[in-house]
Amino acid sequence: MNPFKLASTEYTPEIVLDLDNKELFFRGECRPENVSTFFAPIVAWFEELKTVPVPEGQISVVFNLDYFNSSSAKHIMDIFFLISDINKDYNYQLEIVWEYDEDDEDVYDAGVEFEDLSGVKFIFKAL
């Protein structure tokens, strides 16, 4: 499966989705100008997981987002729902690691809310 890589900008996070190397992460701020256009290839990448052989073992999907706007939150939530479906329907072992600055209660609380709404168990990691 082809990796998806996107360098960070002032408004978008660095994203690496590389299944072969088991390196999947989102890092930085997420407030793109056109949210739907920004997230479309990311959602497509996760959708493509349904068509490739399931790799062995646990794979961490790391979210280390300093800030994300409400429009991005909806799309991030869609990714969590997609991960839940992929795990359940296709026997993947994707785990979500929610990294946050230990002093940033808002980002931590957002992770707790995402976990509750998505039904996916998060691993919380204070930095």
Question: At a CB cut-off of 8 Å and minimum separation 6, what does 85 contact?
Answer: none
Q: pLDDT (tens digit, 9 = 90+) per residue, 71-123? A: 999 999 999 999 999 999 999 999 999 999 999 999 999 999 999 999 899 99
Q: What is the pLDDT of residue 45?
A: 98
Nearest to 95 by CA among 60, 119, 125: 60
Q: How many CA atoms lie within 13 A of 41 on its CB side?
A: 11
Q: Which residues contact 101 (CB under 8 A, 6 or more apart)?
A: 66, 107, 126, 127
Report how far residue 75's alpha carbon sits from residue 35's, in angstroms, rounded to the nearest whole number: 8
- Give 51-72 pLDDT, tens digit per residue: 999 988 999 999 999 999 999 9
